[in-house]
A and B are shown apart, each in its own frame.
Chain A
Amino acid sequence: MTPGWKCPRRVGFLFPHECFRTTPVGCPDCNNGQVQDPFVSRSDRYGYPDYDIFPMDFTEADGADLVTTSDEFESDMSGS
């Protein structure tokens, strides 16, 4: 362990975040520092092989025709 060492890589499954490990040795994400971007390199995302690449360009206009949310939204998790 190197004192003060901070991992520069992105890790995570659902979203990228910083790696909190104090050494790459034995790291299952970067495989001892061999993988540059462990977040993108994951291969266990089923139907999302290119998870970090978005097929369409979202714009502010995307929100124009959206469905409104219901009043019960906050409290009702069981409703259909």
Chain B
Amino acid sequence: MPVDVNRLRSEGVYEAREPLAALTDDLNQVQRLASDWHARRKNLAISGALTISLGIIAMVVFVPVGLLLIGGGIWLLYHMKVHPKAVANHTDRCEFGRSMAALLAADTDPKELVTMRLAFEPKEEVLSEGPLNGYKHGTQRLFRVSWFSISAKLYDGTTFSETVEDVVRERKYTSTRGKRKTKTRTRSLIGLRLDYPSERYGDVSALQARMQTEMYLPEGVKVRGVEVNDRAIKAKVVAQAIGIPQLVKANSMLALGIYRVLNLSLQKRGGRP
């Protein structure tokens, strides 16, 4: 299915429900588009700046030409908006989406429809906002942006749902030199939910504590919570600013850690693993 480029351009969102292979193709297309937009934005920025500089010089010689060049330069800079910055600067999110598709590919029917949503400019949900004590004109804002979600039914009947959101702490203050400063700190939160078939795995709620302690995760990633009942497992991990490749790794290790216990439960029930 072709990517909805208009929606990608206007809302910064890619969303589809289709087989994993088609999702991967789409994400390749989105990444190519994003790279193209990134290059176009760069060219427009350089051209615009050069044209404005020439316009300023031309003003000395002949004012109308100078004004024309400055106007042209401003138009070039304004035209950058046609290629959304958020999409152009977050091509790595396509990589994350593809890695999710790859993670599930071995355990999902190739014809199964999988829902994926990738947001390049997600809406900020403010969690708290207030003054920053000890800083001149200091303010602190805590917000989260949910930029990825996927839902798929696996071969074993489990529904695999995952969301990724960034929790951002933004501090603004005036430094001792009188300059306005903005500092941000980002943590990524991976929320994984597995609605498992209890007729296959039994009730694994008894294994909740072990699931958490036996989970291996990369450095900088910590388990924030695991909840299990007789039908579903919900896990949350928080990752420091580790970058997309490490986030991909954390994601796989989280899913493997949970499934390792599910596999054991199946084995104990006498099911053929």
Name A residues whose Cβ lies closer than 8 Å to a Cβ of B.
Answer: 10-17, 29, 45-48, 51-52, 54-56, 58, 60, 62-63, 65-67, 69-70, 73-74, 77-78, 80
Do the beta carbons of B156 and A58 come within 8 Å of each other?
no
Residues of chain A contacted by B227 (CB below 8 angstroms): 67, 69-70, 73
10 more CB-based (< 8 A) A-B contacts, given A14-B107, A54-B260, A58-B265: A10-B273, A14-B106, A14-B259, A46-B253, A48-B260, A51-B256, A73-B229, A77-B161, A77-B163, A78-B191
Do the beta carbons of A48 and B155 come within 8 Å of each other?
no
Whether B225 sits at the interface, judged by CB under 8 Å, is yes
How many B residues touch A, CB cutoff 8 Å?
A: 44
Residues of chain A contacted by B193 (CB below 8 angstroms): 77
Given contacts A15-B273, A73-B227, A77-B161, contact A51 B260 (CB under 8 A): yes
Do the beta carbons of B264 and A66 come within 8 Å of each other?
no
Interface of A is mostly: loop
Residues of chain A contacted by B264 (CB below 8 angstroms): 54, 58
Whether B232 sits at the interface, judged by CB under 8 Å, is yes
Binds A, one of B14-22, B78-86, B204-212: B204-212
Name B residues whose Cβ lies closer than 8 Å to a Cβ of A.
Answer: 103, 105-107, 154-156, 161, 163, 191, 193, 205-210, 214, 216-218, 224-225, 227-229, 232, 234, 236, 249, 252-253, 255-257, 259-260, 262-266, 268, 273
Closest-CB distance, B237 to chain A (whole angstroms):
11
The residue in chain A whose Cβ has the minimal distance to the Cβ of B230 is A69
Do the beta carbons of B249 and A46 come within 8 Å of each other?
yes
Do the beta carbons of B155 and A65 come within 8 Å of each other?
no
The 8 Å CB contact of A62, one of B156, B207, B218, is B207
The 8 Å CB contact of B208, one of A11, A17, A67, A78, is A67
What is the bound-complex CA distance between A71 and B207, given in angstroms? 19
Do the beta carbons of A14 and B253 come within 8 Å of each other?
no
Do the beta carbons of A46 and B216 come within 8 Å of each other?
yes
Given contacts A46-B216, A66-B205, contact A12 B256 (CB under 8 A): no
